[in-house]
Amino acid sequence: MIVRGQLMDVPDSPFTGGGLRTTEALLVRDGTIAARGTYEDLRRDNPSEERLDLTEGLVLPGFVDTHVHYPQVRMIGALGMPLLDWLEHSALPEEARLADAGYARGVADDFLRGLIASGTTTALVFGAHFSSAVDALFGAAEQRGLRVTAGLVVSDRILRDDLLTTPDRAYAEGRALADRWHGRGRLRYAVTPRFSLSCSDPLLAACGALHGDVPGSWFTSHINENRAEIAAVIELFPDSADYLATYARHGLVGERSVFAHNLHASAAELALLAEHGSAVAHCPTSNSALGSGLFPLREHMAAGVRVALGSDVGAGTGFSLLKEGLQAYFMQQLLGEAGLPLTSAHLLYLATASGAAALGMAGPTADHWVGEFSVGSQFDAVWLSPATGSTLDCGLRNADSADQALAKAFALGTDADIAAVWVGGERVAVA
Ligand SMILES: [Zn+2]
């Protein structure tokens, strides 16, 4: 298939000299990009190849969401509370409903439809506290063809009783889920303690054991989101130097670790994250909605910590990584001199290639190389094609450069502008 359009990607970090790259056409074979170039050249060299015309609008790599909660899709928009009140009154009552496998299947459908409709093709998903609900997520993701890394969420204190487990049960259920789903097609397992606040040391030790026993598994959790949360964690772990140490002592800080938020990180924590190659999922609408804080992006970059975007649905206000990118930009502007001014290329990088790198899905040696339009990578793509006469349509037609057109997509783009989505060269259905 020859894909023709205004194709844009950011394969190399603009924080270290990379920038926006454009091309007119791609040759896609068996889901993989086989060549890039002008439409004329690719057509001449492959005369019998099927053609796909996407010349109206923009074509971007499929978005990579590095932090999103599947059980929370139905409670997006619970505004007006800080983190711990929001969890108790809004998020956790809904999460408890996923004990019912039938209810969980419905939620899984709503969740995956939401991801696809927003152009997200790869996600690191916070699962549910119930094994049957995690099965429902993996099964539905496999059916739809999305790239999903997820796992059983575990906690053994502080949360409501029906969400609690024990270290032995957490290991056994996680192990069984990983045996069923890890490495199956586009699916992978992620060991997922909710956060140290709700996990005892023995439970985190069980998570460390499971992560070690499932080769290639991922690890994800929350960190340094809210000052009250951080103070409570420090009180519960008096012999840990900081929040990150509660995970590090169990071997949970490594190259396959993604920590959400990290708004109030110490210099020592940033240095340790960088040293171990762990990534941080920055979730700007969630941080804004819960009043958690302004993300210290400059400090993360200075320390050499990898950062990607997460929607953090349902504290985040939707699945769109265009909206998260714009909110990330707003946050850095509001930080004034402490902020890092972001271009549209930075935003696309954070929403695509950086997320792929955080999930080990970047470069020719990855099992599934996504997040960019390089030869050898998967054709995961989103086609933004705004309605004629819409403000985004007007903006794209009057943009002077590719960077400007992309900035308009972040400023104005919504789900309504997403005309089609592909994963591995196959178009995925939204319905
Ligand atoms: Zn979260």
Percentage of residues in the chain with pLDDT exceeding 70?
100
* Mean pLDDT to the nearest integer, 90-115: 97
pLDDT value for 430 = 76
Ligand 1: distance of its center to the CA of 51 in Å? 41
pLDDT value for 80 = 84
pLDDT at 431 over 80: no
Q: Which residue has the higher pLDDT, 46 or 81?
A: 46
* Mean pLDDT to the nearest integer, 384-399: 97
The model's pLDDT over 289-321, given as tens digits with 9 standing for 90+, comes to 999 999 999 999 999 999 999 999 999 999 999
Ligand 1: distance of its center to the CA of 423 in Å? 25
Ligand 1: distance of its center to the CA of 348 in Å? 21
pTM over 0.85: yes
Q: Of 212, 218, 297, which is closest to residue 258 (Cα–Cα)?
A: 218
* Mean pLDDT to the nearest integer, 58-82: 95
Ligand 1: distance of its center to the CA of 46 in Å? 46
Ligand 1: distance of its center to the CA of 68 in Å? 6
The model's pLDDT over 216-269, given as tens digits with 9 standing for 90+, comes to 999 999 999 999 999 999 999 999 999 999 999 999 999 999 999 999 999 999
Q: Which residue in the block uniquely carries the two structure tokens 């993701």?
A: 141
DSSP state of 306: E
Ligand 1: distance of its center to the CA of 411 in Å? 24
Burial of 146 (0-12, 13-18, 19+ CB in 10 A): buried
The model's pLDDT over 2-54, given as tens digits with 9 standing for 90+, comes to 999 999 999 999 999 999 999 999 999 999 999 999 999 999 999 999 999 99
Ligand 1: distance of its center to the CA of 221 in Å? 8
- Delineate the domains of the chain, giving CATH numbers in brackets: 2-61+369-427 (2.30.40.10), 63-339 (3.20.20.140)
Ligand 1: distance of its center to the CA of 127 in Å? 11
Ligand 1: distance of its center to the CA of 291 in Å? 14
Ligand 1: distance of its center to the CA of 314 in Å? 8
Q: Tokens for 253, please give them.
A: 């800080």
pLDDT value for 429 = 83
Q: How far apart (Å, rounded) are the C-alpha atoms in residues 232 and 222?
A: 14
